[in-house]
Structure 1
Amino acid sequence: MRLPISAHTSRPWRVHEITGDFHVEDVWQLPTPGGPDDLALLVDQFANGEGDPVPSPVGRALFALRWKLGALLGWDAPSGGLGSRVPTLRDRLPADLREGPRGPDTKAVPFTSVFLTHDEWAAEMANRTMHGVLHIGWVPDGAGGYSGQMAVLVKPNGRLGSLYMLGIKPFRYLGVYPALIRGIGREWQKGAAARGAGAA
């Protein structure tokens, strides 16, 4: 379920300390019910899950088109990424976060982990169009449980980046996010079932 931007900005997340120049693009509630200590399981799913990150033909086609355009136009060249065009957000971390767990990088979509705490995880990626942050928070659901909340923060790279984000917006909402959220939920349920069977 899509949430208002305030669902992210109103919470005292540590990521706010390093993303003051980023725009919160999207916030979503994830179908990942769990207990107070289960964020690590969700982070592991993002980093090491075996499911298709966008399990729909439309979503896969859009991602394939995006990577082909990126290769054609040089958007994803190393010179446009982290450590080249932009410094990593780890350089902005306060000492306690820098000395704490960093968290895992992701494989399916190349995000580099910035920091991990008991209730939030941030990872970043950059190319010639933008510098983006994936933030996963672990929030109370109001019924005694917890679930994930995903926010996407973006710092466009000039006019090109702003036009790029505007151009892909309808595709994100129609073809990418709905399938992505459903896939996250299905893989979470599968993992929960396996953990339940292992505990039996």
Structure 2
Amino acid sequence: MRLPNSAYAARAWRLSEIAPDFRVEDVWVLPARGSHDEFPDLVKQIAEGDDAFDSERLAILVYVARQKLGAWFGWDSPGTGTGLGARVATLRERLPEGADYGERGPDQRGAPWISVYRTDREWVSEYANRTVHALMHVGWVPDGATAYRGEMTVLVRPNGLLGRLYMAGIRPFRRFVVNPAFFRMVARNWQSGRRIE
């Protein structure tokens, strides 16, 4: 379920302190609910779990088309200096000296997202190419007296006009094809009680 973008700003996330120049693209409720101590399980399932697109034909088609476009236009080529450490500095460089942002957290298997930090209730990973510097924030928010639920926020800093056009162009595919496939993967792993070893 999609939430209003204000749902992210309504909470005191640490990410807000180090990424004020990123705008919220959208906020979603993740199909995961549990105790405070289960947040590391959610992070691990997202980072190392089943491929979200294994049985999702439309999502596979969108992914392949996006990869082809990226190759044709040079959006993702590592040799072009368009990613993290080249076009943009990693968000890890913004972490305040001596501040406790927990551990770095896991990178996503099979995806270009790199973990920035993980605390007991939030995890941030980042990705950059020629069009955008994007952040995925996963939060563990109170949902009743003792329960918590997952929320995912996508934040972006588009690279000029090209980045703004790119984000506008992919928005319907991301919201109606890619994200639902991802959420179904999260739900499958979470509801089955599967824990990644």
Q: Distance in 2 between matches of 1:68 and 1:77?
A: 12
- Alignment partner, residue 63 of structure 2: 63
1:27 and 2:65 aligned: no
Q: CA RMSD in A?
A: 1.5
1:144 and 2:146 aligned: yes
1:52 and 2:51 aligned: yes
- Alignment partner, residue 2 of structure 2: 2
Q: Distance in 2 between matches of 1:113 and 1:10?
A: 24
Contact 1:27 1:150 in 2 (8 A): yes
Q: Distance in 1 between matches of 2:48 and 2:181?
A: 18
Contact 1:98 1:115 in 2 (8 A): no
Contact 1:81 1:126 in 2 (8 A): yes
Contact 1:134 1:152 in 2 (8 A): yes
Q: Give 2:41's aligned amino acid.
A: L
TM alignment of 1:154-169, pairs within 5 A: 154-169=156-171
1:31 offset after TM fit, Å?
Answer: 0.8
Cα distance per residue 1:36-70 (max 9 Å; x no partner): 11111111112211x22234211111011111111
- Alignment partner, residue 114 of structure 1: 116
1:144 offset after TM fit, Å?
Answer: 3.0
Q: Give 1:148's aligned amino acid.
A: G
Q: Distance in 1 between matches of 2:185 and 2:132?
A: 25
SS in 2 for 1:20: coil
SS in 2 for 1:123: strand
Q: Distance in 2 between matches of 1:152 and 1:183?
A: 18
Q: Distance in 1 between matches of 2:147 and 2:69?
A: 42
Q: Give 1:52's aligned amino acid.
A: D
Q: Distance in 1 between matches of 2:137 and 2:178?
A: 17
Residues 186 and 132 of structure 1: CA distance in aligned 2, closer, same or farther (over 3 Å): same
Q: Distance in 2 between matches of 1:109 and 1:188?
A: 20
Q: Distance in 2 between matches of 1:160 and 1:13?
A: 29
- Structure with greater helix share of residues: 1
- Alignment partner, residue 125 of structure 2: 123
Once the two structures are aligned, what percentage of the paired residues are identical?
A: 52
- Alignment partner, residue 103 of structure 2: 101
Q: Give 1:22's aligned amino acid.
A: F
Please, what TM-score do these two structures have when normalized by structure 1? Answer: 0.91
Contact 2:52 2:184 in 1 (8 A): no
1:89 offset after TM fit, Å?
Answer: 0.5
SS in 2 for 1:32: strand
Contact 1:2 1:27 in 2 (8 A): yes
- Where do 4+ consecutive residues of structure 1 move more than 3 Å? 96-100
- Alignment partner, residue 175 of structure 1: 177
Please, what TM-score do these two structures have when normalized by structure 2? Answer: 0.92
Q: Give 1:88's aligned amino acid.
A: T
